[in-house]
Amino acid sequence: MARTYVVAAVGEIPPGGRKIVEVDGISVGIFNVAGEYVAFRNRCPHQGGPLCEGKLWGFVESALPGQTRLIRPGEVLKCPWHAWEYDLRTGQSWYQTARPRARRYPVRVEPGEALLAREQELADAGYARGPYAAEKFPVSVDEQYLVVEIP
């Protein structure tokens, strides 16, 4: 049975920010991704590194050598140990087929078409699904507080 925990006031985590808390003996990172809250276990599925302490980034796209652009800035969490990258919206790891790398997970309900469009955008930019998915927890807003549900 899942238990719920109040982890922060709504205004406590600004857009692009994070808060790492201990709930029920589990370290959890809560992120504000452009006003949407997502929560992840602070443990990289690759080798157990402190995932939620990693750098927030985006996906890099390049059409030609020397020409790059950042897509979905602030939506990629990079593990500080081995630089595996996880999509904050889905938790899925990704790697660039030309240069092996990885990515991460989501916490909201979306139409299937929106998720497929995001995956197609990454495929078009030369990315492929990685072998890992970060453990994600549901986050809800209860009046003025963020609540995380731990199974």
- The number of domains in the chain is 1
What sign for the dihedral angle of Cα 81, 83, 89, 90?
A: negative
Confidence (pLDDT) at 100: 37
Q: Residue 101's domain is classified under what CATH number?
A: 2.102.10.10
Distance between CA atoms of residues 119 and 123, nearest Å = 6
pLDDT of residue 96: 60
| The model's pTM | 0.71
**What is the extent of the structural domain holding 24?**
3-150
Mean pLDDT for each 10-residue chunk of the chain (151 residues)?
A: 88 95 93 93 93 93 85 93 90 67 42 69 83 86 87 81
Give the pLDDT of residue 28: 94
Q: Taking a C-beta distance cutoff of 8 angstroms, is the pair 44, 136 a contact? A: no
* Token pair 């078009």: residue: 124
